[in-house]
């Protein structure tokens, strides 16, 4: 017993020694957001109210019942006066004794939209002119203990834009700037302002040119030192070793000796303990370190997106005087562009694996950015991952997204193609503009560079192809300018996209890839993209804008397809949120207002007539637009994947919407899945079986993202629409790893065996033992030509282990079966599917609403009249 007590005493003494050696933490930093207590008022009018921060003037006016819902019916056109006014936001800031006694008092404005004068205690402290930048001011000399006054004056972005346009020798192309809708005629002012381009309108979005405090304001009170930034440079990363450099950016008040500690939070192990001499002012300290046998970060489908969580401390005299945390994933990511027999590759290589990028283009989730909640971000990223995506492209007419967006991409293994915020316009290149762009790029590259999801930085969207300076192509822009002005505009282009932006990426990252413009047929500015290029990336809009048939998705292949798409209307349940029954006509004023592509509604109808019956009924027409869109994009994705490894990426336009609208999205403004998103989920599965008919020969392709060859069985079943099997064929094949390969070929007539092609289908399966790796259906005739009989559909509701399901079966083929609950948020685990006779399908039901079986409605192709 005595011996045991001695051991306990020794252990206690040891713990005391260790505890005494552990540095204590000083409260040297006080940080809080200044989000409450705000008011707003019209600078030259009587409108005022309580404000929400972060927020916008539009959402504040809405919350105070001073305007109607901007998205409802045609309210947009009556609210264009808002952006012509100046607005003043103000609040009282109480600075405590503890805060006031700190050596530094910083106001950190994370985002001001856009032309802004900031006054603190009636002194001008900031003049901002770039929505994408972060602005700081040390108010120590102006502050007082107790009450202080903060006033933010927002100048009208339209008035400012008009001043800049008037001062310019000429206007610039900006085809998506809906200036006429904004009431200022043909005056495209968006290009002069560093602000989200889509706020001025787009071919899927309304015109709401906002002002406001769109990201938080923080008060930071601190002594001695603060950690401004920590960057983990990944010089060389492999499964054996990660060779890293920690770059610490520290701001100190005085010279002193300190110790910097970087700790792996999960293991508790200190990876860096560095003694250093700090000087008053800015200090950049680089410390090499390594991690043996690191856990690598992988994209979804290839492995775990493992994240390292680090804790950083600055210690002085055994006291922690500054502390922060950051996370990153360790990986090697590069854009491989190598000459080959076909041209030049364009493929992302992650940890030595060349991956096929499967994903979509992403736009902001709302026109009024501060009301995009974490729940919205959770949903759109979950929608991407659930659809088997591994990449999203953050498009250049929106914003550099919130930190939370990239954190979700990191944690879910979604790579990010990150555009800089330039799209479909030419831009001035004066010294002030170039400096603003450089600071904008620096702010955002530094903010985002630790995210392992960032795969590439891209200069702009479609400008190189549209301007087409070195060829006769393009969108007809340059032809409207004199030779002298053409050269001036081109110089501005080269300064921005071939100097300023790549220089920032080079200086502030650890070797991230930069691509000047999407699409482009090579890095050099003269490499303009076209549909016949064998290098670079492609935006293929022959389908839709060029009225090419869906079959041409197989004709025009790319090394990387970074844009393509087809429109549909929102679901009827979504339309009911912004329209009244008298609006239920695709050519009504309201439906036209919620369709920003002028050709859109009639273009959908025209394409529909090529493949389907065109219904007269409004709700059926909306449904058919979903079915049509899904058919087109299915053909595109399968064509791109069949072309692997020539083509190594497919990013359709677009995954989401910023308001309820007819658009190219696969999920609508309320994140409701359209038929296309269900289809995408299947088309993006790790293994795909796809059949393609060329000149009477049916070729069966097996496409695999798996990293090992697979011995599989290809099973083909020819079946009529009543479920009778007419032919069965089974063969053993090899599914090659990480590529597409031909598994089998046969003449169409050999397969048909005199059957009527309008009454049959070919079921395709790839099996490994009893597991189905992939399945698909090949139809021999277009839907409008098929002889589809009225089915008897059996529907049953079941509860299994506390979960609700609906079970459906049929006696005859059902094409594109759609299930919905009227006025309900209940979601289906699968929808818009073909139901095979003799097979039943179990669909899980999820949602917050109470399940009312009587509200279930169905729609399918046979019903369309």
pLDDT for the residue numbered 27: 86
Residue 277 lies in a domain: no
Helices (H), ranges, 657-747: 675-683
CATH code where residue 130 lies: 2.60.120.260
Mean of pLDDT values over 532-543: 97
Residues 126 and 208 in one domain: yes
pLDDT > 90? residue 14: no
Q: Domain end: 720, 750, 785, which one?
A: 785
Residues 776 and 815 in one domain: no
pLDDT > 80? residue 12: no
The count of other CB atoms within 10 Å of the CB of residue 383 is 21
Using DSSP's 3-state secondary structure scheme, residue 109 falls into strand
Q: From 375, 348, 562, 374, select the one nearest 453 (Cα to Cα).
A: 348
Burial 527-554 (b: 16+ CB within 10 A, else e): bbbebebbbbbbbbbebbeeebebebbb
Q: Are 433 and 195 in contact (CB under 8 A)?
A: no
The secondary structure of 214-282 as a DSSP string is -S-EEEEEESSEEEEEEEEEEEEE-SSEEEEEEEEEEEESS-EEEEEEEEETTT--EEEEEEEEE-SEE
Q: Which residues, other chains included, contact 724 with Cβ-Cβ below 8 Å and sequence gap of 6+?
A: none
State the Cα angle at 464 between 418 and 399, rounded to 5°: 30
Cis previous bond, 645, omega within 30: yes
Print the domain residue range for 214. Answer: 29-219
- Between the CA of residue 804 and those of 382, 383, 647, 678, what are the distances in Å? 21, 21, 41, 20
- Match 């065109």 to its residue by tokens: 614
Name the strand (E) or helix (H) holding 4: helix 2-21
Residues 120 and 154 in one domain: yes
CB hemisphere CA count around 601 (13 angstroms) = 19
List of E strands, 658-724: 687-694, 697-704, 710-720
Using DSSP's 3-state secondary structure scheme, residue 170 falls into coil
Mean of pLDDT values over 430-439: 98
Cis previous bond, 654, omega within 30: yes
The secondary structure of 174-206 as a DSSP string is BTT--TTTTTS-S---GGGSBS-GGGG-BTTB-
pTM of this structure: 0.95
Residues 33 and 172 in one domain: yes
Residues 75 and 130 in one domain: yes
pLDDT for the residue numbered 8: 40
Residue 149 lies in a domain: yes
Provide, rounded to the nearest whole percent, the portion of the chain with pLDDT above 90: 94
**Helix, strand, coil distribution of the chain in percent, nearest 5:** 25, 35, 40
pLDDT > 60? residue 364: yes
Residues 134 and 150 in one domain: yes
CB hemisphere CA count around 474 (13 angstroms) = 20
Residue 477 lies in a domain: no
Mean of pLDDT values over 557-580: 97
Per residue in 649-676, pLDDT (tens digit) is: 999 999 999 999 999 999 999 999 999 9
Per residue in 232-263, pLDDT (tens digit) is: 999 999 999 999 999 999 999 999 999 999 99
Using DSSP's 3-state secondary structure scheme, residue 707 falls into coil
Q: Which residues, other chains included, contact 646 with Cβ-Cβ below 8 Å and sequence gap of 6+?
A: 342, 557, 559
- The Cα–Cα gap between 243 and 411 comes to 22
pLDDT for the residue numbered 133: 98
Q: From 350, 267, 262, 269, select the one nearest 304 (Cα to Cα).
A: 350
Mean of pLDDT values over 557-565: 97
- The Cα–Cα gap between 32 and 93 comes to 11
21 falls in which pLDDT band (50, 70, 90)?
Answer: low
Cis previous bond, 710, omega within 30: no
Provide, rounded to the nearest whole percent, the portion of the chain with pLDDT above 70: 98
Q: How long is the chain?
A: 865
Q: Longest Cα pair distance anywhere in the chain, in angstroms?
A: 99
> Treating both helix axes as pointing N-terminal to C-terminal, what angle do 675-683 and 618-642 enclose, rounded to 10 degrees?
20
Q: Domain end: 785, 802, 837, which one?
A: 785
Q: Domain end: 219, 250, 281, which one?
A: 219
pLDDT > 70? residue 9: no
- The Cα–Cα gap between 858 and 357 comes to 35
Residues 36 and 131 in one domain: yes
Q: Which residues, other chains included, contact 160 with Cβ-Cβ below 8 Å and sequence gap of 6+?
A: 115, 192, 193
Residues 734 and 814 in one domain: no
Per residue in 86-121, pLDDT (tens digit) is: 999 999 999 999 999 999 999 999 999 999 999 999
Q: Is 12 exposed, middle or buried (0-12, 13-18, 19+ CB in 10 A)?
A: exposed
pLDDT for the residue numbered 511: 97
Residues 777 and 810 in one domain: no
Residue 187 lies in a domain: yes
Residue 244 lies in a domain: no
Burial 395-433 (b: 16+ CB within 10 A, else e): bbbbbbbbeebbbbbbbbbbbbbbbbbbbbbbbbbeeeb
Written as six digits, the tokens of 341 are 């027999």
State the Cα angle at 115 between 109 and 116, rounded to 5°: 50
Residues 776 and 805 in one domain: no
Written as six digits, the tokens of 713 are 């069985």
- Match 């000399």 to its residue by tokens: 141
pLDDT > 50? residue 3: no
Residues 146 and 202 in one domain: yes
Q: Is the dihedral of CA 298, 304, 305, 306 positive or negative?
A: negative
State the Cα angle at 183 between 180 and 184, rounded to 5°: 80
pLDDT for the residue numbered 335: 98
Q: Are 835 and 810 in contact (CB under 8 A)?
A: yes
- The Cα–Cα gap between 231 and 732 comes to 51
Residue 455 lies in a domain: no
State the Cα angle at 747 between 745 and 749, rounded to 5°: 150
Residue 55 lies in a domain: yes
CATH code where residue 778 lies: 2.60.40.10
Number of domains in the chain: 3
SS (H, E, C) 486-520: HHHHHHHHHHHHHHHHHHHHHHHCCCCCEECCECC
Residue 182 lies in a domain: yes
Using DSSP's 3-state secondary structure scheme, residue 599 falls into coil
Average of per-residue pLDDT values in the chain? 95
Residues 692 and 812 in one domain: no
Per residue in 800-849, pLDDT (tens digit) is: 999 999 999 999 999 999 999 988 889 999 999 999 999 999 999 998 88
- The Cα–Cα gap between 662 and 632 comes to 16
């Amino acid at each position: 017993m005595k011996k045991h007590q001695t051991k306990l005493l020794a252990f206690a003494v040891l713990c005391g020694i260790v505890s005494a050696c552990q540095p204590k933490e000083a409260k040297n930093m006080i940080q809080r957001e200044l989000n409450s207590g705000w008011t707003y008022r019209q600078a030259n009018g009587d409108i005022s109210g309580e404000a929400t921060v972060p927020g916008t003037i539009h959402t504040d006016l809405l919350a105070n019942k001073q305007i109607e819902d901007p998205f409802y019916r045609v309210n947009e056109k009556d609210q264009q006066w808002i952006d012509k006014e100046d607005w003043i936001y103000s609040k009282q800031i109480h600075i405590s004794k503890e805060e006031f006694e700190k050596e530094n008092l910083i106001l950190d404005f994370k985002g001001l939209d856009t032309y802004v004068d900031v006054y603190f205690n009636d002194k001008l402290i900031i003049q901002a002119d770039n929505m994408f930048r972060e602005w700081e001011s040390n108010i120590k000399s102006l502050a007082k203990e107790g009450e202080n006054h903060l006033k933010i004056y927002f100048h009208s972005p339209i008035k400012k834009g008009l001043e800049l346009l008037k001062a310019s020798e000429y206007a610039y192309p900006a085809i998506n700037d809906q200036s006429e809708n904004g009431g200022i005629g043909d005056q495209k002012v968006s290009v002069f302002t560093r602000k989200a381009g889509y706020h001025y309108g787009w071919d899927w979005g309304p015109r709401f040119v906002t002002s406001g405090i769109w990201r938080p304001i923080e008060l930071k009170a601190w002594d001695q030192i603060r950690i401004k930034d920590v960057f983990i440079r990944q010089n060389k990363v492999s499964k054996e070793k990660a060779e890293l450099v920690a770059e610490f950016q520290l701001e100190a008040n005085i010279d002193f000796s300190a110790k910097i500690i970087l700790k792996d939070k999960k293991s508790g192990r200190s990876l860096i303990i560095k003694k250093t001499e700090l000087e008053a002012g800015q200090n950049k300290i680089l410390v090499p370190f390594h991690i043996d046998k690191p856990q690598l970060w992988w994209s979804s489908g290839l492995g775990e997106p493992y994240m390292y969580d680090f804790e950083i401390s600055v210690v002085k005299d055994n006291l922690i005087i500054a502390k922060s945390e950051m996370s990153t994933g360790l990986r090697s990511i590069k854009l491989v562009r190598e000459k080959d027999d076909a041209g030049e590759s364009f493929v992302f290589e992650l940890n030595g694996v060349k991956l096929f990028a499967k994903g979509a283009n992403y736009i902001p989730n709302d026109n009024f950015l501060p009301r995009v909640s974490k729940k919205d971000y959770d949903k759109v990223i979950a929608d991407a991952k659930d659809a088997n995506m591994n990449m999203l492209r953050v498009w250049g007419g929106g914003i550099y997204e919130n930190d939370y967006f990239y954190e979700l991409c990191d944690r879910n293994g979604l790579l990010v193609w990150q555009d800089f915020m330039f799209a479909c316009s030419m831009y001035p290149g004066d010294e002030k503009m170039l400096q603003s762009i450089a600071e904008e790029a620096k702010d955002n590259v530094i903010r985002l560079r630790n995210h392992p999801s960032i795969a590439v930085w891209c200069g702009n969207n479609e400008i190189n192809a549209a301007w087409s300076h070195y060829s006769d192509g393009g969108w007809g822009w340059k032809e409207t300018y004199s030779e002298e002005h053409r050269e001036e505009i081109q110089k501005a282009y080269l300064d921005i996209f071939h100097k300023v932006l790549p220089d920032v990426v080079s200086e502030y990252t650890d070797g991230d890839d930069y691509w000047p413009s999407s699409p482009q047929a090579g890095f050099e500015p003269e490499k303009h993209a076209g549909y016949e290029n064998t290098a670079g990336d492609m935006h293929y809009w022959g389908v839709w804008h060029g009225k090419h048939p869906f079959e041409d998705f197989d004709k025009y292949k790319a090394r990387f397809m970074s844009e393509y798409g087809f429109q549909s209307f929102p679901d009827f349940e979504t339309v009911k949120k912004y329209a009244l029954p008298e609006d239920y006509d695709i050519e009504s004023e309201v439906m036209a207002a919620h369709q920003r592509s002028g050709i859109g509604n009639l273009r959908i109808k025209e394409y529909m007539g090529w493949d389907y019956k065109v219904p007269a009924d409004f709700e059926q027409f909306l449904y058919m637009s979903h079915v049509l869109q899904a058919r087109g994009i299915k053909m595109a994705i399968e064509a791109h994947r069949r072309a692997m490894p020539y083509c190594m990426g497919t990013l359709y336009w677009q995954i989401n919407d910023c308001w309820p609208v007819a658009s190219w999205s696969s999920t609508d403004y309320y994140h409701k899945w359209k038929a296309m998103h269900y289809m995408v989920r299947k088309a993006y599965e790790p293994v795909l079986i796809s059949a393609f008919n060329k000149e009477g020969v049916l070729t069966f392709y097996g496409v695999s993202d798996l990293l090992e060859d697979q011995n599989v069985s290809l099973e083909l079943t020819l079946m009529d629409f009543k479920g009778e099997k007419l032919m069965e064929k089974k063969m053993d094949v090899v599914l090659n790893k990480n590529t597409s390969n031909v598994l089998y070929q046969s003449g169409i007539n050999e397969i048909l065996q005199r059957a009527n092609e309008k009454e049959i289908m070919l079921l395709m399966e790839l099996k490994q033992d009893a597991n189905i790796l992939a399945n698909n259906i090949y139809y021999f005739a277009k839907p409008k030509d098929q002889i589809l009989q009225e089915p008897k559909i059996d529907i049953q509701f079941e509860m299994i282990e506390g979960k609700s399901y609906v079970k459906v079966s049929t006696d005859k083929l059902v094409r594109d079966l759609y299930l919905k609950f009227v006025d309900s948020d209940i979601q289906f685990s699968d929808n818009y599917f073909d139901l095979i006779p003799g097979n039943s399908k179990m669909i899980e039901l999820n949602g917050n609403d109470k399940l009312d079986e009587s509200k279930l409605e169905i729609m399918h192709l046979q019903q369309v009249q």
